[in-house]
Structure 1
């Protein structure tokens, strides 16, 4: 039976302060601020009434303190944080009462034994997988901001479809990446400070050397000429064209004449890197400038901050609901929504039973105005129709076909200017009308599958001012306007046609799948910094080839694994991208990223899989730190042949199957 109704009373902060001090401060070591005390006073007045001194109020403060410390919110209880924790406790209590009222059998605390129900009497909870398959676009993706003080994520309002970037988001464009990577490195044992009591630490100190793995702020190298340091910061170029490293404290010029790269990564301006070397008080192009640290840093080795696995990152950040899979997340407002361990286990077990679910990824640049592409699409959907016909209805329950732009071979502009006076937009719409007419011939595909369209460089509306040049466009790219796909919308059942953004995410039960259309390999190769050691290695390779040493048996058979140039470059791309924790680890002059959507470009924690659509590089699949990354290449890789490329991803097995169709 519910307890008696408690009448509210009017309390003052001075009334609640003694009990709050006794429970929160004296017992749990927390300091409550005045604004938080006002929030607690209002809560005690309305919820506990005249019984605010009783056990219910003290138990609430106990639960409050435990949750506050569990979320690592710090020693000082502020007003906004107090309100968030109260919301979470209230929501948890309401859920518990609902569960008990629905017939859950629980033993009373005074019982010695409890009669356990028979297995047949307990109704098993049936989870509908449809509730956990979401297409998350950047305008609806939950926005989490990394708090460098608490070292945790805090929620912000969703970005929506803002055209103008907010001032705060613009200022935090690089600092958010810096502090997030620094927090990741603080959990890496390779960057932990060595205890001073150890013999190794004493030897390092006596030799004026930094402790092993310790990251030093740039401001702390001043006055320590000739010492070795390890620095971490943003790689830039100054007005003189020299490389500069910048962190949260200052910046310093780099001397890379004898620097060597850590193998397997690209190093471009705009990336956060780790440099080992010696500080010199003399030298540098701005030695006489009093506003910066004089001298330069002689780099010996430059490397990337190593990525950590998804499980470790999710454990560190409390398994936050980064994609908003909870249906009641909208009701929670700005409170932190987490995925508990029981739900995670159920989701993993559920997706392993859905063997027939597939994600079919077509190669990029599906030019609908190309006759060869049209013939290939007809052959592909005809084959898919036959496969669905042979499958059971349960196995064909969830098939998503992803088509990636550009969907026109020429960029959509305001007018084409041809003698036929047909506008470019009408031709663009006619291409999707043809696609709808062609798909109407395959009813099983239309009624069973979902179609996801991701725009490319030639697609509206960005193409009207960028003219199809990726460097002139902005990320994330908005979806194709509905005015061009009206016939497709009428053809497909409601919810089966998804107009996606670039990039976007798919939450498939327990997995996070990232879809991104960009020619990344070209940008990485073009902007990779070339050191003297790279040129020297290239000269040695050419000399070996000229002497024919590369064809000797002892050079072919050895301990070193010989990989093709394609595999080596693919591994470099994957490692660079995942180590940086961002889909665009460049400066803004390569491709502008809207600061409002910085959380969309972030891949920290690592997703389960990333599907890259790079039309200028071959297809590959590389797994790094548990994240599987694939590239689909172009839909038709060679214009001289009639072969289309696509891949099928099975979420139950987490494997890709690469296929080709000759037409």
Structure 2
């Protein structure tokens, strides 16, 4: 168009060339007439990235000899290699972070980290049936109330800023527990902050979870406005975005309910059989970089059925290949720890060929104290000698070195970060132990593979992987996601928890209680007894008649707190620092299939909550029992979960 007239000729408007994606005659040939890039050829890499496909090897021949090994379908994902996603409230979808992460980001990224964490939990609540409002149900409830019958109402979350001018009204708030500069406890969301009074608050269910500053919780109570602030409006730090005058009297406090993995992904039948889409969810999002559930999940389940489940069904008594052996805190500066490890490895070295465990997870702290903080070169030399002793122990089991993958997860006392922390809490996520100290262990694996005529590069030989804390273990793409995390989180929860009022009396069969599987085995049961799977069946006599041991209640309380938060570090930055740009590895959303939580301050347990198997092996040396070693064995894909095992050495 020129001068209000449509020109004819090569630049005229026609049906043939109006939407043609051809390069313009400008200097920038990468753009088209519509401002889009030319679609000359769509490669498989481009399409895979768009639809959550993975490069796990789907185009390879499944009958290949190298693909018959279960370890070929396993991938260890470090915290700094995991994709970073943020939740877009407007689109109600997850988007990849466009900015490049940094260990020294601007201060605004701290606010972004809190905003994204709040939005993830908020959208998870809105997907819960208890927070959904139906038009038909509302009209029916109105008619029942007019007739004199009680009806169940859905919950509604009120933003903190909307409390202004609503003195004496009842509300439910969703926000983070914070401590004000004055020392008072408050709750904060994206709209503002208000002082809390929890002197009369009761946890729902009672004593089922921890509540500490830094957690995002649900609080039901009444807003009480101060008399001197009535009619003065907004001023200073009060109002939207600041601290609101008055206080919120909380009567009930609880954790935001957890969401099952299959509900998050929008797919049912994840345990095998026919796959059915149940609508909604984030099934097309590739959270780990190994392929999305909708794209590669069905085919990966067929591969898992062929490699893992069919051999196990043919001979149920034989040890399966798909086992993960988890050894807790391994202090190399204690000779008894190496003796216990040698005994555990000798038990699995006697398994038939082809039935040995596929993975061994060894967690730190690898030293009792932060030896790197002593100064000088003595600490680093001594630290390397500890790993050299570990290499000598592993060299006695060449069959395990050639058929399994050994994964090492560091702790707070390991190098290099302990050189300046002195063993205190370090920022998460943290990098693996440097190769300078682990070179001899890698040479032991290389020598064992060379002697057997194998190589770790082609996927046939064993290997040692030094990963971050936390990290992910993916098996068969998105089918199995195992989170590896080392932290004494139980002791930190007890130190910083908020004291609440306890109920005077509670019904024995409260339907709000969550039924979990058994935790640490009781003295009357063998230590290798299989754990039960949790469900909401109140007919279980264990939950109604027999009082549960203290260790079992402690394990359930810890697991519910962590999974309901959906975050591995629900504390204040002063207690557990977190790198603001690397919070994605700390999320437990979607809920993983298994969580390995190595916590020496909590009892050893293996429980199941909302379909997620949570295991804690504790320390390899059992406290108070000399000559006893403890570890956890997790069978992948069997539905049994993990079990705590013990042996004498």
Q: Using structure 2 for the length normalisation, give the TM-score.
A: 0.74
Q: Could you say what secondary structure the match of 2:575 adopts?
A: coil
Give the alignment partner of residue 617 of structure 1, picking from 587, 597, 602: 602
Give the alignment partner of residue 202 of structure 2, picking from 254, 260, 282: 260
Give the alignment partner of residue 406 of structure 1, picking from 360, 365, 376: 365
CA contact (8 A) 2:32 2:38 kept: no
Post-superposition shift, 1:347? 4.6
Provide the residue aligned with 2:349 in structure 1: 385
2:540 counterpart of 1:600: no
Provide the residue aligned with 1:500 in structure 2: 467
Provide the residue aligned with 1:298 in structure 2: 249
Provide the residue aligned with 2:81 in structure 1: 140
Give the alignment partner of residue 192 of structure 1, picking from 126, 132, 135: 132
Post-superposition shift, 1:575? 0.8
Look at both structures and tell me which one has the larger radius of gyration over its CA atoms.
1
Higher-RCO chain (CA-CA 8 Å, sequence separation at least 6): 2
Provide the residue aligned with 2:324 in structure 1: 359
Q: Check 1:89–1:591 CA distance in 2 against 1; reply closer, same or farther (3 A cut).
A: closer
Looking at structure 2, the residues matched to 304 and 191 of structure 1 have their Cα atoms a distance apart, in angstroms, of 14
Provide the residue aligned with 2:178 in structure 1: 236
CA contact (8 A) 1:138 1:159 kept: no
Q: Check 1:166–1:87 CA distance in 2 against 1; reply closer, same or farther (3 A cut).
A: farther
Q: Could you say what secondary structure the match of 1:362 adopts?
A: strand
Post-superposition shift, 1:304? 1.1
Post-superposition shift, 1:432? 1.1
After TM superposition, the structure 1 = structure 2 runs for residues 170-569 of structure 1, keeping only pairs within 5 Å, are 170-195=110-135, 198-201=139-142, 212-263=154-205, 264-282=208-226, 290=235, 291-292=237-238, 293-315=244-266, 316-326=281-291, 339-340=295-296, 342-350=298-306, 351-353=308-310, 355-364=320-329, 366-387=330-351, 391-393=352-354, 395-396=355-356, 399-413=358-372, 415=374, 423-470=378-425, 473-493=426-446, 494=456, 496-509=463-476, 510-533=479-502, 559=544, 562-569=547-554
Looking at structure 2, the residues matched to 276 and 85 of structure 1 have their Cα atoms a distance apart, in angstroms, of 51
CA contact (8 A) 1:412 1:458 kept: yes
Post-superposition shift, 1:41? 3.2
Looking at structure 2, the residues matched to 17 and 177 of structure 1 have their Cα atoms a distance apart, in angstroms, of 49
Deviations 1:368-391 (A, max 9, x none): 12121122222222333222xxx1
Structure 1 or 2: more helix by fraction: 1
Q: Check 1:378–1:199 CA distance in 2 against 1; reply closer, same or farther (3 A cut).
A: closer
Post-superposition shift, 1:210? 12
Q: Alpha carbon RMSD of aligned pairs, Å?
A: 4.0
- Structure 2, unaligned stretches of length 5 or more? 1-8, 21-30, 239-243, 267-280, 312-319, 447-455, 458-462, 507-540
Give the alignment partner of residue 41 of structure 1, picking from 34, 38, 45: 34
Looking at structure 2, the residues matched to 11 and 384 of structure 1 have their Cα atoms a distance apart, in angstroms, of 77
Looking at structure 1, the residues matched to 188 and 437 of structure 2 have their Cα atoms a distance apart, in angstroms, of 46
Q: Could you say what secondary structure the match of 1:611 adopts?
A: strand
Provide the residue aligned with 1:662 in structure 2: 648
Q: Could you say what secondary structure the match of 1:645 adopts?
A: strand
Deviations 1:418-462 (A, max 9, x none): xxxx71111111111122122222221222222111111211011
Q: Using structure 1 for the length normalisation, give the TM-score.
A: 0.73
2:606 counterpart of 1:641: no
CA contact (8 A) 1:457 1:468 kept: yes
How many residue pairs end up in the alignment?
538
Q: Check 1:87–1:438 CA distance in 2 against 1; reply closer, same or farther (3 A cut).
A: closer
Provide the residue aligned with 2:566 in structure 1: 581
Q: Check 1:146–1:357 CA distance in 2 against 1; reply closer, same or farther (3 A cut).
A: same
Q: Could you say what secondary structure the match of 1:339 adopts?
A: helix
